[in-house]
Structure 1
Amino acid sequence: MANPVILTIDDDPAVSRAVARDMRRRYGDRYRVVRAASGPSGLETLRELKLRGEQVAVLVADYRMPEMTGIEFLEAAMDLFPAARRVLLTAYADTDAAIDAINLVDLDHYLLKPWHPPEEKLYPVVDTLLDAWTASPEAASAEVRVVGHRWSAPSFAVRDFLARNLVPFRWQLADDPEGGRLLSAAGATTDDVPVVIAPDGTHLARPTEAELAALVGLRVAPTEDFYDLVVIGGGPAGLGAAVYGASEGLRTVLVERRATGGQAGQSSRIENYLGFPEGVSGAQLTDRARRQALKFGAELLTTREVTGLTAAGSARVLTFGDGSTITAHSVVLATGVSYRVLDAPGLAELTGRGVFYGSTATEAPSCLDQEVYIVGGANSAGQAAVHFSRYAKRVNILIRGADLTASMSRYLIDQLDRLDQVVVHPHTVVAAGAGTDHLERLTLADTRTGETREVNASWLFIFIGAQPRTEWLDGVLVRDERGFVVTGPDLVAGGRKPPGWPLARDPYHLETSLPGVFAAGDVRAESVKRVASAVGEGAMAVSLVHRYLESQ
């Protein structure tokens, strides 16, 4: 396997040679330093590297170049090598543009020219970026290949799992020539798909999520039996708790049943999150948070579902689905919510074959010049509509109410109003779906008159309801009538402590009816369903964990 690449792009030959010279002097024994003279030639180089299965660790692009600016190059390069760290080389006069690029292309750093001496101004920056790239799962998993059928629910499940866990992969149709060659090399047939091939050539046919996670290098087993803090759920609240817990010295493990990021991680663009005026994708926010948690020493476990919680003296014991357990001083529940299943004839059979729950970034390019139907009127539906409008010929939003004002943020409504290809259909629900190997038709009903009409449709994305995943806590914690976990002051309404509460004090603000167990984010009753508030509650829960531990 060739050494990973550091690619530098500058149209000034003298500057280009100088950058490459300094890079080779420090990193030439571990990395290949490649030069390009322009943005287009740099992209062509990246395409060749991608086809050869090579890895790119760092991209350094000059801001002012003809044909394509450095920002435009880095934005395009993200599609080819999303895990590569991105650096903009700029003059002092262009620092404002460099700062704007931090949000536009998730820029990791910008360097001012001249960068001499490199020992002070260049190498410390690149050292940090290379360390981050080496530590990320993406760097070790860049050549995962998935072979499957276009309209196959199992194939979609594999691709969705990899995408939500930010694992780059190549998707290959089983009936294409290259797909046939890969299946033949793996000793498999089209009846065995999906087949997943790891970079080292090992492969699995129809893998379970746990098998898939292990194959691509995601951690699935804890390294210890006892922790200071176990965080259950890897959405914004869980990641916030993991970052703050680990950074403050707690032995912290985060347990996620599927993929970090939660519903927010599926969002194509979050534009009202503090500090990102140009918006940030859920995947980018998740990636940054996950890297932060790992940096501070937190363990992140994937495909592990917690099915039981019990008290053993001052310890809290968590049971996994396979019967194994881990124990901790404290627990933060951040399991979030899941989308409610749309109960209409024909949809269940077509799930993963044209009917999808939540926004699936892997499917958006396949909707090119086609009609897309979205059910739901909250922010998640609006963000998905904006994203799909870049590909689809028309995006139809179906809502029960008269308009979006009761459930969607104003900035999203204004965005949708400016998109000609987005159409909102008020008082409209999906009554049925039909198709053979995939969704082909939808029956839509008017909620006022009951009249129905049939439309041709291959793509239906559903964003309705919010169901907490708390059935496993029945009889363990106090929950409200909808299943959300009750915490803090709400537990002592009427002046009485919750049943079985053993302490003289009242529960802390985010504490559940079991001391030492806290709830944060969407799973908590009466919480504000926003990313920023979830992150804040995750951090607040850790401060309350400290208070709890100090009182023991």
Structure 2
Amino acid sequence: MAQAADTARTIILTVDDDPGVSRSVARDLRRRYGAGYRVVRSECGESALDALRELKLRGDAVAVILADYRMPRMNGIEFLEQALDIYPGARRVLLTAYADTDAAIDAINVVDLDHYLLKPWDPPEEKLYPVLDDLLEAWRTSEHRPVFTTKVVGHRWSARSSDVREFLARNQVPYRWYSSDEPEGRRLLSAAGEDGLRLPLVVTPDGTALVEPEDRDLAAHVGLATTPAADFYDLVIIGGGPAGLGAAVYGASEGLRTVLVERSATGGQAGQSSRIENYLGFPDGVSGAQLTDRARRQAAKFGAEILTAREVTGLEVNGAARVVRFSDGSAIAAHAVILATGVSYRELDAPGVADLTGCGVFYGSALTEATACQNHDVYIVGGANSAGQAAMYLARGAKSVTLVVRGESLSASMSHYLVQQVTDAPTISVRTNTVVEAAHGAHQLERLTLRDTTTGHSELIDAQWMFVFIGAAPLTDWLGDTVLRDSRGFILTGPDLTPDGRPPADWELDRPPYHLETNVPGVFVAGDARAESAKRVASAVGEGAMAVMLVHRYLEQS
């Protein structure tokens, strides 16, 4: 018999547009699992998505979703793809006819399908229940266990409130947002003994109230690991973007005692992308959050330790050990280190921008703000892929989206497929040869001054939302003089360490540095922080795997 769930709020959801089939599925599910799970059924994808969103807000857990493939307006694959964004940990089953098996096989790549069932499934004891038993057991033993929802109370135009929401969202921590001036927000503030002058207030699942929490304190209270389990490892990976996660998967899976240290949230800039469409194996695209979540779970499955909200401030060489120091003065050591620190968005140097950051001005996609942008005019500064992806995502609900581009065209810095999508989108316009001269507003963004660089003409426009993507700077200042970098701060490796391609003068080993190795033996670089890197998700993941291969070579020769 099926094992009872830990909570009666755990859901099995089924959606089928045929009322008879829908009732049959629900009947069979309740007969087997009704004692431990709540079975929810719907007869169209749209209403099922509404139900999932409501369940998410209430803090209910969804263990399995069964969807019929042939539904009007939204087929089962399209529904599961959107459901994946709401409940990424739910197991996914597609109900198909024999003629649709090719579509079901394709869905394995599109929505990471767990199983497909052919209709009819009689008898359920042979064709339905064994499949569901396995999927429910897999869900129970995964990281996506039922949890009570974290609550965040803050002011709509508060930079720190925005930062907390983004931190929780990017770390896959479910939360519910309450404005400080709405009844429930005021009730939570009163219960915590606060008058609303200090925000945000975060109420954790165990009822702990945190006022204006720092990221590390917040991470520790919502179940994210912040303290290393050991003092010494085979491999320390600094940075949790695609390169770091790729290195963690390959390092841990090949038997290295591996710890990944991330200062904010796994995924890096790629994790903030609304849709990545040129990554191998995902022909219909994948969101950065989905890709990050899968990679993080994969690394954890192989035994990699992942620390969040830990800032690294120094790297030291102590004999054969490589010592990584944290901002609180503590340290861990390892045989080898992979630097996968990535890059951060460059700040827009214009009057008023710094004061309004988080209050209408955002760096990166800030996807937690997307719903608030609906029916508003949105401005995106930048002309590369990240700006184009954000424009396409925000255009779904915004009244209009304007790309503000310094250059003469998008084609110089944006992929061809994305240029075509932006050009064809009816609500997206592009202003080339244009820069933001100033941002204006008392407590939130209200207006922008845009200047045409060809004519010199400036224009004052109304604006409440501006997202900035104007290039990136490497996060490497903390390395000091320990590791060689180029004039822009990117880390030099292998033959690029010296102009003539020979090892540096202080290189102590008989062999030359490996391709991804720095001037410090045993310290490697992967991803965007490396000088002359490709700045693509696929290449970052590949470099993470390659760096682990070179770590093995280094360890064998040490």
Q: Aligning the two structures, in what range does the TM-score lie when normalised by the shorter sequence?
A: over 0.9
Aligned to 2:323: 317
- Residue 57 of structure 1 and its aligned partner are, at CA, apart by 1.5
Q: 1:370 aligns with which of 365, 372, 376?
A: 376
Q: Which residue of 2 aligns with 1:256?
A: 262
- 2:538 is the counterpart of 1:510: no
Closer/same/farther in 2, CA of residues 69 and 323 from structure 1, 3 Å limit: same
The correspondence of residues 136-285 of structure 1 with structure 2, limited to 5 A, is 136=143, 138-141=144-147, 143-285=149-291
Alpha-carbon distance, 1:119 to partner: 6.9
5 Å matches for 1:351-500? Answer: 351-494=357-500, 496-500=502-506
The partner residue of 2:96 within 85, 90, 93 is 90
Q: For 1:242, give the aligned amino acid.
A: A
Q: 1:37 to 1:280 in 2, by over 3 A?
A: closer
SS at the partner of 2:197?
helix
Determine helix, strand or coil for the equivalent of 1:374: strand
Paired with 2:131 and 2:552, the residues of 1 have a C-alpha distance of 35
1:470 & 1:51 partners in 2: Cα distance? 39
Query: Partners of 2:546 and 2:291 in 1: how far apart?
Result: 19
Residues 495 and 501, structure 2, Cα contact 8 Å, conserved in 1:
no
* Residues in 2 aligned to 1:324 and 1:149: alpha-carbon distance in whole angstroms: 35
Partners of 2:313 and 2:85 lie apart in 1 by: 38
SS in 2 for 1:331: strand
DSSP 3-state at the match of 2:484: coil
2:142 pairs with one of 120, 135, 144:
135
**TM-score, length basis structure 1:** 0.93
Separation in 2, partners of 1:439, 1:48: 31
Residues 331, 24 of structure 1: alpha-carbon distance in 2 compared, 3 angstrom cutoff: farther
Q: Find the aligned partners of 2:136 and 2:482 in 1 and give their Cα distance.
A: 45
1:32 is aligned with what amino acid? Y
TM-fit CA distance, 1:197: 1.4
Q: CA contact under 8 A between 1:84 and 1:133: conserved in structure 2?
A: no
Q: Quick one: distance in 1 between partners of 2:106 and 2:364?
A: 30
Q: CA distance change for structure 1 residues 191 and 175 in 2, over 3 Å: closer, same or farther?
A: same
Aligned mate of 2:41, from 36, 43, 49: 36
**2:4 equivalent in structure 1:** none
Distance change in 2, residues 1:100/1:191 (3 Å): farther
In structure 1, the residue corresponding to 2:168 is in which secondary structure?
A: helix
Length, aligned pairs only = 549
Aligned-pair distance for 1:42?
Answer: 4.6
Q: Secondary structure at the match of 1:253?
A: strand
Name the CA distance, whole Å, in 2 between partners of 1:496 and 1:517: 18
Opposite residue 259 of structure 1, the aligned amino acid is A
Distance across 2 between alignment mates of 1:497 and 1:73: 55
What code does the residue aligned with 2:43 have?
S
Between the aligned residues of both structures, percent identity stands at 64
Report the secondary structure of 1:362's partner residue: helix
- CA separation in 1, counterparts of 2:521 and 2:125? 53
The letter for the 2-side match of 1:407 is S
Query: Structure 1 residues 79, 546: closer, same or farther in 2, change over 3 A?
Result: closer
Q: 1:52 to 1:371 in 2, by over 3 A?
A: closer
TM-aligned CA deviation for residue 367 of structure 1? 0.9
- After superposition, the Cα gap between the structure-2 partners of 1:374 and 1:67, relative to the gap in structure 1 and judged at 3 Å, is closer
Q: Any stretches of 5+ residues in structure 2 without a counterpart? A: 1-6
Residue type matched to 2:506 in 1? G
Residue 38 of structure 1 contacts residue 66 of structure 1 at CA under 8 Å; is this kept in 2? no
Q: Which of 59-68 and 173-182 deviates more?
A: 59-68
Aligned partners of 2:22 and 2:41 also within 8 Å: no
Instruction: Verify the 8 A CA contact 1:140 1:217 in the aligned structure 2.
Output: no
Tell me, what secondary structure is at the counterpart of 1:535? helix
Give CA-to-partner distance per residue, 1:268-322, whole Å, 9 cap, x none. 1111110111111101110110110011111111000111111111111110110
Taking the aligned partners of 2:433 and 2:358, their CA distance within structure 1 comes to 26
1:443: how far off? 0.8
TM-score under structure 2 length normalisation: 0.92
What is aligned with 2:10? 4
**1:364 Cα shift?**
1.1
1:339: how far off?
A: 0.8
Q: Distance in 1 between matches of 2:73 and 2:412?
A: 46
Q: How far apart, CA to CA, are the structure 1 residues paired with 2:387 and 2:339?
A: 26
1:306 aligns with 2:312: yes
The 3 A distance-change label for structure 1 pair 95 and 460 is same
Q: Which runs of 5+ in 1 are unaligned?
A: none
What are the Cα deviations for residues 228-267 of structure 1, in whole angstroms up to 9, with x where unaligned?
A: 1111000000000001111111111110000000000101
Worse-matched range after superposition: 504-513 or 165-174: 165-174
What is the correspondence of 1:47-58 to structure 2 with a 5 Å cutoff? 49-50=55-56, 52-58=58-64
TM-superposition CA deviations, 1:191-221 (whole Å, max 9, x none): 1321111222222111110111112111111
C-alpha contact 2:495 2:502 (8 A) present in aligned 1: no
Q: Which residue is 2:116 aligned to?
A: 110
Alpha carbons 2:67, 2:94 under 8 Å: kept: yes
Using the alignment, how far apart are the partners of 1:244 and 1:119 within structure 2? Answer: 38
**1:532 CA displacement:** 0.4
**What SS does structure 1 have at the residue aligned with 2:350?**
coil
Cα distance in 2 for partners of 1:444, 1:185 equals 46
SS of match in other structure, 1:332: strand
**CA offsets 1:394-432 (integer angstroms, 9 cap, x no match):** 111111111011111000000011012111111110111
Q: Which amino acid aligns with 2:289?
A: A
SS in 2 for 1:521: coil
Which of 351, 354, 361 aligns to 1:348? It is 354
Range with bigger deviation, 143-152 or 56-65: 56-65
Q: Is the 8 A contact 1:86 1:109 kept in 2?
A: yes
Residues 445, 453 of structure 1: 8 Å contact kept: yes
Which residue identity is paired with 1:187? G
1-structure distance, mates of 2:127, 2:223: 35
Equivalent residue for 1:328?
A: 334
